[in-house]
Structure formats: C-alpha cells, structure tokens
Amino acid sequence: MKKELTRQQYLDLYYYMRLNRAVEDMMVKLFRQNKIVGGLYSSLGQEAISVGTAYALEKKDWLAPMIRNIGALLVKGVPPRDIFMQHMAKYDSPTKGKDGTSHFGDLDNLHIVSPISMLGDLIPVMTGVAMAGRYLGQKIVAMTWIGDGGSSTGVFHEGLNFAAVQRAPFVLIVENNLWAYSTPVRKQVPLENLADRAKAYGIDSYIVDGNDVVAVYTTAKEAVERARAGEGPILIEAKSFRRMGHAQHDPAEYVPKEMRAYWEARDPIALYEKFLASEKLLDAKGKNEIEEKINTLLAAEREFAENSPMPPPELAETCVYCTGDDCHKIRAKWERPIAEVTPPRSSVKAVWTVPGFGSGKGSGGANAPIHFGDTQPAAREAGNKTNSANGGKPVAKMAAKAAPKKTVKARAAGASRKARR
C-alpha cells in the first residue's frame, strides 16, 4: 500500500470496510433468528473491492450492485436500516416488503440501479445508463460488478462489446473470488487473468489485489476518470477469495482447508489496519472510537428495522407494473442544449468511401487484398503485376500455368475439326 490519499480518505475507507462487515455480521444474527426471510450472501474477505471501487465514484455517478456489494451501497449513502428492512421484508423497506433480498435501488437520489438476478444483464443496462448520461450532457460514469462465474455468461460478452462499440463511460469490476458457487475458476475459464477478456473488445483493463483497499481505490479512480474523459469502458479484475459459501445455506465444504487458511491470513481489514498503524493514521484510541460509532449506529438501525411493521395484505396488488406518473415522476435531467442532439445539428451526411473490404491472409500465407464484386483487384488493374496471394508470381504466367495442357491426341482431333469446317 502507498501513502497517496488524504488522512480523511484513508479513514473513510477503513470506516466503510468495518461498517460493511458489521452490517453483515448483524444480518447473520438476524438470519439465525429467522428474522430474515430471503437469501443472505456474504462478502466476507471482499469488502475492499466494494468499498474501494464505489469510493472512486462521484455523487452524480451511477452504480448497480450485485449480491456481495453491500459495501458499495453504504458508500453511496444507503442507511443500514434500509438493508436490514429489505432483507426482513418490512413495510418501511425500499420495496415496501415486496422483496426479501438485495433487489432494490434509488434512481432519483442516490443513482442506484437494482441488482438483476440474471448474471451479466447489468452490463448492458449500465452501458445504457452511461450512454444516457452522455446524451444528456451529465458527464457521469456508470459502474457495476460481476463475478468470475458470471463473466462466462453470454450477456457479459454482448454487453461488454456493446459498451466498447459505443465507447460508453462505463467501468466494470470483475470480482475474481476463485469460486462460482462450488466451481473453481480454473474449471470454467482457461485464462490466467480474466482481465484478458477485455482484449477481445479493444478496451483497456487493470488487474488489482482485491484485498488491498488503497490499490483498489486508486485503480478504480484512474479508470473512472479515464472513462469520464471519453476513453471508453474499462474492465478491472480484482483478485480475492470468497471466504463463506455461496449463501448462508452453503457450508462450502468443497473449499480446501489450506486455501481458506491462506486467504484468512490476508484479511483485507487486518492488512489495512497494519498499514494505517505503520503510517500513524490510526491508533488504538481511534480504532475504538470507530468501533463505538459503528456499534451505536447499528444498534439504532436494527431497532428501527425490527419495529417496522410487515406490509399490509392489500399492498400485494399495487406497484406490480409501472403505470406512469402515479408510479414515479423521474424525468430526464438535461445538462446540455437539446438542440445539439436534435436535427439539423445532430444530422450526419451518409457519405462513405469503399476502396475494398480490407485485407487478410491468403492460403499461401501472404497478404491477400479482398475486394467487393464490383471493385477490380489491384493486380488486375496493374496488368501483370505480382499477386501476393500466390507467392509473388506474375498474374499472366500464373494463368498460363493454371490452364490444362492438351494431349497430342486432343490437338489432332482439333485440327481435324478445323479442316472439316
């Protein structure tokens, strides 16, 4: 870790990682008390990824979390009570008790798009958000996350290609935590680095230690600013480890004990505490103050959540489909003149030149020009110039050589026919 940020930024990263872990620890207790009605997914050991990447965004930027990105929600400003109530399906939750997991967002204020269970689908969605922000002149960046397993879905590739073609201001975080449920990453991806998948779409990528929160933040910050400056989408592979099972119901007995022990020794919070202490940014007193602040906050948030009522039965038939203004009143926020994106200023003349269709390797291994049917090949236009697809031999000689030889008998028969005519 390098000392590059302000003291407050260092402490912010520490606070949010500790808050992330404390929120999840409390939800585990609620789950075991049967107070959480849906699935519960842990980000134990991955807190540095969610916190470090989300902290690199500005308030106006947009994000779409996945199931292990509670830290990103906290950084964006979601209060812990909303997370508690959402998983407890309470009436005061963001979805009014209609969802028992993490499927909620805040489009109007915090610019959060709800998670999508079909893995990979958030990539084209957030590409669209990024494009919309550019169209409206907002200069925003959109960010979402995907796991190593989700990076093998078709829509991952379709979405990333779409973002690349559109040069969208979009940052994708690939959380390589070594396990797609019970499938190790080496069983599903024949690559050393998942970041290499960016090469197929002509976009840049980074690889970062996902357990080093400062490295994660500085890498994400650079990627965000490059995307905002118009350099197109960027992929970041954060290498880490999923220290719990896929969800609370999964004991993860398929994970080798030695592997778990190795990564537990690289706990991102413990590593960061050592760094902060070595740089004299955090002492025992400061650490205790942060712990007390978090404990006090979560005690109040949990009490509020537990006292929230369950939703009334009649609510079940409402807000199932969006019906317009009575559902939401979100409108486009223009930050550029609309005339710039409407005719005639937005019109582009359909003019292009087609000299050929590119080039490629011929069967002989040399470069072979490719032409449209109505475009004469360069070799034909130049007479007997050499044809690179045939080892540089003259075209005329090649044609002669290619013509079939007549036998003596065939020549005699031809002469006889000519004499009869």
Give per-residue pLDDT as tens, 247-276. Answer: 888 888 998 999 999 999 999 999 999 999
pLDDT of 286 reads 95
Q: Worst-scoring range by mean pLDDT, 37-51, 113-127, 280-294, 313-327? A: 313-327
Active site residue 254: yes
**Cα dist from 356 to 279, 340, 380, whole Å:** 62, 34, 14
Q: Compute the distance between CA of residue 20 and CA of residue 46 in angstroms, rounded to an integer.
A: 10
pLDDT of 403 reads 43
- Which amino acid, 366? A
pLDDT of 411 reads 45
Give long-range contacts, CB 8 A cutoff, 24+ apart: 301-304. Answer: 301/79, 301/80, 301/81, 301/84, 302/26, 302/30, 302/80, 302/81, 302/84, 304/81, 304/85, 304/92
Active site residue 242: yes
Tokens linked to 169: 């201001």
Position 412 confidence tier, pLDDT thresholds 50, 70, 90: very low
Q: Compute the distance between CA of residue 382 and CA of residue 34 in angstroms, rounded to an integer.
A: 83
pLDDT exceeds cutoff 80 at 408: no
Looking at the domain that runs over 7-317, which CATH code has it been given? 3.40.50.970
pLDDT exceeds cutoff 70 at 225: yes
pLDDT of 100 reads 85
Whether residue 24 contacts residue 43, with contact meaning beta carbons closer than 8 Å, is answered with yes
pLDDT exceeds cutoff 90 at 330: no
Residue 394 preceded by cis peptide, ω within 30: no
Write out pLDDT tens, residues 374-392.
555 554 444 444 444 444 4
Q: Which of 135, 181, 254, 262 is catalytic?
A: 254
Position 124 confidence tier, pLDDT thresholds 50, 70, 90: very high
Q: Which of 246, 260, 266, 371 is catalytic?
A: 246
Between 174 and 403, residue with greater pLDDT: 174
Position 59 confidence tier, pLDDT thresholds 50, 70, 90: very high
What residues does each domain of the chain span? 7-317, 348-409
pLDDT of 320 reads 80
What's the average model confidence in pLDDT over 360-372? 59
Q: Which of 16, 242, 272, 302 is catalytic?
A: 242
pLDDT exceeds cutoff 80 at 394: no
Write out pLDDT tens, residues 90-110.
999 999 988 888 899 999 899
Write out pLDDT tens, residues 10-31.
999 999 999 999 999 999 999 9
What's the average model confidence in pLDDT over 32-44? 90
- Which amino acid, 307? N
Position 62 confidence tier, pLDDT thresholds 50, 70, 90: very high
pLDDT of 145 reads 97
Write out pLDDT tens, residues 199-218.
999 999 999 999 999 999 99
Q: Compute the distance between CA of residue 348 and CA of residue 370 in angstroms, rounded to an integer.
A: 28
pTM assigned to the model: 0.80
pLDDT exceeds cutoff 80 at 334: yes
pLDDT of 319 reads 78
Position 326 confidence tier, pLDDT thresholds 50, 70, 90: confident
pLDDT exceeds cutoff 90 at 76: yes
CA 49 to chain centre: 13
